[in-house]
C-alpha cells in the first residue's frame, strides 16, 4: 500500500530530526516535531518545557515518578490514577492520530510508529549513527562540549528507550519494529533523505 505518512524514530545526535525536516521539505508536506509540543501544551494545559522534557523520555528519577503520581492524584483532569507522563502521552497520541488522519506528513519521535500501528499507510523509519558522528553533531548543533556528549548520548538514548518500552512494550532501536533503519553516519544526512524518498516512491 502506498505510504503517505513517515514516522521517524532516532538516536540522539543521529540527525533524525533534521532528516525528517528535509524529507518533509522534499515531499512538500508538513513535519511535526517541536510543533507537537505546542499542540500538546494547548490541549493539556501543561507547560511547553515540561512536555519537551517528558513527552518522549522517562528518566530513572524515582522522585519524579512519585511526585508526578502524587500531584496527579489532585489533578482536576482525571481521576484514573494516570501519571502526568501518561496524560502527556495520551494527549500527544490523540494529536498524532488526528494529524495522520489529515493527510501526508512526517512525524518525528513520540512513539508515532506505535501510535499509528493500525494504519497501513505509514513508513516507520529509525535513524542511528556511530558514536563519532553523533558526538560531532551534538557538539556542532546542540552546543554540548565534546567531553559531555558521551554521557548525554547514553542518558538521552536510555530515557527514550525507557519511554518507548513503557508505552509500547517493544524494544526501541530493534530493527524488527521499523520498516526501514538507516545509519546516517554511513549513508549521510542527504543520503538518508534521498533513500527514504526513494522507498516511498518504490512502494505502491
Q: State the residues that interact with a second copy by CB under 8 A.
A: 11, 126, 128, 173-176, 178-183, 186-188, 191, 194-195, 198-199, 202-203
**CB 150 within 8 Å of CB 204:** no
Shortest Å distance, C-beta 27 to a second copy: 17
DSSP 11: -
Nearer to a second copy, 80 or 204 (CB): 204
Q: Pick the closer one to a second copy by CB: 110 or 128.
A: 128
Shortest Cβ 123–a second copy spacing (Å): 8
Three-class DSSP category at 5? strand
The Cα 161–Cα 159 span in angstroms is 5
The nearer residue to a second copy, 73 or 175, going by C-beta atoms, is 175
CB atoms within 10 A of CB 179: 16
Pick 16 or 55: Cβ nearer a second copy? 16
Nearest-approach distance from CB 77 to a second copy, in angstroms: 37
Cα–Cα distance for residue pair 58/158, rounded to 1 Å: 8
Least distance between a second copy and beta carbon 171 (Å): 8
Element (H, E) at 32: strand 30-32
Strand 180-183 relative to strand 122-128, pairing: parallel
Q: Using the 8-state DSSP alphabet, how is residue 76 labeled?
A: T
Q: Tell me which H or E stretch contains 107.
A: strand 105-108
CB closer to a second copy, 134 vs 163: 134
Task: State the minimum distance, in angstroms, from the CB of residue 157 to a second copy.
Answer: 10
Calculate the dihedral angle through the C-alpha atoms of 139, 173, 28, 18, rounding to the nearest 10 degrees: 0
Q: Would you say 144 or 181 has its CB closer to a second copy?
A: 181
Query: Smallest distance from the beta carbon of 6 to a second copy, in angstroms?
Result: 13
For residue 85 the three cell numbers come to 507522563
Amino acid at each position: 500500500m502506498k505510504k503517505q505518512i513517515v514516522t521517524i524514530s532516532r538516536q540522539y545526535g543521529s540527525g533524525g530530526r533534521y532528516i525528517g525536516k528535509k524529507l518533509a521539505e522534499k515531499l512538500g508536506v508538513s513535519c511535526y516535531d517541536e510543533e507537537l509540543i505546542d499542540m500538546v501544551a494547548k490541549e493539556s494545559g501543561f507547560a511547553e518545557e515540561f512536555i519537551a522534557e517528558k513527552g518522549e523520555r522517562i528518566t530513572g528519577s524515582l522522585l519524579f515518578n512519585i511526585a508526578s503520581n502524587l500531584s496527579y492524584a489532585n489533578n482536576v483532569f482525571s481521576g484514573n490514577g494516570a501519571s502526568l507522563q501518561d496524560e502527556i502521552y495520551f494527549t500527544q497520541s490523540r494529536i498524532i492520530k488526528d494529524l495522520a488522519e489529515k493527510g501526508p506528513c512526517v512525524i518525528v519521535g513520540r512513539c508515532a510508529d506505535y501510535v499509528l500501528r493500525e494504519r497501513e499507510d505509514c513508513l516507520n523509519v529509525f535513524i542511528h549513527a556511530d558514536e563519532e558522528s553523533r558526538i560531532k553533531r551534538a557538539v556542532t548543533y546542540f552546543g554540548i562540549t565534546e567531553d559531555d556528549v558521551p554521557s548525554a548520548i547514553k542518558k538521552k538514548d536510555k530515557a527514550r528507550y525507557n519511554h518507548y518500552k513503557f508505552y509500547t512494550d517493544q524494544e526501541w532501536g530493534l530493527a524488527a519494529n521499523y520498516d526501514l533503519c538507516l545509519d546516517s553516519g554511513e549513508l549521510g544526512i542527504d543520503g538518508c533523505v534521498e533513500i527514504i524518498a526513494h522507498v516511498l516512491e518504490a512502494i505502491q
